[in-house]
Amino acid sequence: MPPNIPDIVIGRLPIYLRALTRLAEEGHEVTSSHELGQLLGISSAQIRKDLSHFGGFGKQGTGYQIDFLIEQLRQVLKVNREWEVALVGAGDLGSAVAHYKGFKDRGFHIACVFDISPEKVGKKLGDFTIQSTQDAPKIIAERDIKMAMITVPAQHAQEVADMLIAAGIRAILNYAPISLNVPDNVRVQYIDPVVHMQRMTYYLTS
Amino acid sequence: MPPNIPDIVIGRLPIYLRALTRLAEEGHEVTSSHELGQLLGISSAQIRKDLSHFGGFGKQGTGYQIDFLIEQLRQVLKVNREWEVALVGAGDLGSAVAHYKGFKDRGFHIACVFDISPEKVGKKLGDFTIQSTQDAPKIIAERDIKMAMITVPAQHAQEVADMLIAAGIRAILNYAPISLNVPDNVRVQYIDPVVHMQRMTYYLTS
């Protein structure tokens, strides 16, 4: 891993990967930092600088081979494999996440679904049989699962996170609208649509 | 509006608001930049600096009155009112968003749901009757709706965005996994869980 890449650069790589995948699906073979920048609303200089952290992946003037760049980015981001993900919380939100088809082919695979409610345990949720959250530590440790999504109510999210981390989880996507306290060796990302909405209303004039 | 506040500062205000609301719900009346920082994993100096853009809201040494700070942040972010939001796309994802209970009391209210499919138009989705996307421009303009959420497949997201913007939409929360091109006077935010997941796998070691 190249040392000391700013996290903000890492955060842009999945955006580049998503755009490149789209270009490939549309039949393009070559692109440029200029074209990518236009697509993404990011300056071409920024894109070249970001990619230069990893060796550049392209030659000045000839652009980027899209398939090659996709493979390199998948390797840098470690999504040239499939990660098993544990989902905790099988309510409305958890059901929607379990059914979401967008994880496929992008590096992730929901491997198990947990809920604390005895009425839900044993029931089917899509292809999954809901398992008890009480069994999660054992199952996560046995399967060596490193990633989890939390879709429980906000007031239970921290205790669930603590349990997951103790079981070996090192990356959490938290859908509960609450900030989590985690040790330095655990990453957390958040999905809270209201935070995004409130960031936009500031700029609205009526 | 205070001039030239960096967007990254604006982006943190909803996080502060969310944490303060939680503290208030738990019965707290006063907090400090130190306590907030601990909760959020943000330095107290950063929090004080961010809030100082808007006058500070607190006195050195006495901390922040939580209710007062909540009201001030709601005012700055313009969520001391309720914004009507148009939702376009009534598939699995759109249904989940339409049923999401987290918008309530945080400044947003889904006002109408649109879908292009004739089989869906006229059907109920929770409390909503699905309307035709073809009628969206007229309805959005008449009701003077400024915000929209896009939950259509990626290949249709740009055309839907163009239509919404022509109808008067100025802020879009895009759930489709594709970057949108919009004019300078329109804000876009993205919800793509895979982007967040891929940002974390970079740091995982197995």
pLDDT tens by residue, A140-192: 999 999 999 999 999 999 999 999 999 999 999 999 999 999 999 999 999 99
Summarised one tens digit per residue, pLDDT across range B25-53 is 999 999 999 999 999 989 999 999 999 88
For residue A28, pLDDT beyond 80: yes
CA distance B163 to B168: 9
Express as a percent the part of chain B with pLDDT over 90: 83
Residues B6-12 have a mean pLDDT of 93
Mutate to test the interface with A, among B95, B198, B204, B205 (most CBs of A within 10 A): B198
Q: Please report the pLDDT score of residue A44 as a whole number.
A: 93
| DSSP classification of residue A178 | S
pLDDT-derived band at B2, boundaries 50, 70, 90: low
The pLDDT mean for chain A works out to 93
Express as a percent the part of chain A with pLDDT over 70: 95
Spatial CB neighbours of B179, under 8 Å, sequence gap ≥ 6: A15, A18, A19, A39, A40, A41, B190
Nearest to B106 by CA among B53, B58, B70: B70
Summarised one tens digit per residue, pLDDT across range A117-140 is 999 999 999 889 999 999 999 999
Residues of A numbered 78-117 whose beta carbons fall under 8 angstroms of chain B's beta carbons: which are they? 78-79, 83, 85, 92-93, 95-97, 99-103, 106-108
A198 → closest Cβ in B100, B107, B190 = B107
CA distance B95 to A4: 41
Distance, in angstroms, between B187 CA and closest chain A CA?
A: 6
**What residues of B are in contact with residue A19 (Cβ under 8 Å)?**
178-179
Judged by CB atoms closer than 8 Å, whether chains meet at B14 and A198 is answered as: yes
Summarised one tens digit per residue, pLDDT across range A52-70 is 888 766 666 678 999 999 9
> Residues B172, B125, B135, CA angle at the centre, nearest 5°?
55
> Are A151 and A175 a contacting pair, CB within 8 Å?
yes
ipTM over 0.85? The verdict is: yes
Residue of B nearest to A103 (CA): B194
Express as a percent the part of chain A with pLDDT over 90: 83
**What residues of B are in contact with residue A170 (Cβ under 8 Å)?**
203-204
CA distance B154 to B167: 20
Q: Please report the pLDDT score of residue B63 as a whole number.
A: 85
pLDDT-derived band at A94, boundaries 50, 70, 90: very high
pLDDT-derived band at B133, boundaries 50, 70, 90: very high
**What residues of B are in contact with residue A82 (Cβ under 8 Å)?**
none
Residue type, B67: D
Taking each helix axis as running N to C, give the angle between helix B33-40 and helix B7-25, from 0 to 180 degrees, rounded to the nearest 10. 100
Residue type, A140: I
Residue type, B172: I
Distance, in angstroms, between A76 CA and closest chain B CA?
A: 7
Nearest to A66 by CA among A107, A94, A89, A33: A33
Q: Please report the pLDDT score of residue B56 as a whole number.
A: 63
Q: Please report the pLDDT score of residue A53 as a whole number.
A: 87
Summarised one tens digit per residue, pLDDT across range B88-123 is 999 988 998 999 888 988 999 999 999 999 999 999
For residue B60, pLDDT beyond 70: no
Q: Please report the pLDDT score of residue A27 as a whole number.
A: 96
CA distance B126 to A5: 46
The pLDDT mean for chain B works out to 93
Token reading at B3 = 């001039």
Residues B183-205 have a mean pLDDT of 95
Residues A3-23 have a mean pLDDT of 92
Q: Is B143 on the interface with A (CB under 8 A)?
A: no
For residue A3, pLDDT beyond 70: no
Task: Determine which helix (DSSP H) or strand (DSSP E) holds A31, and give its type and residue range.
Answer: strand A30-31
Residue of A nearest to B175 (CA): A193
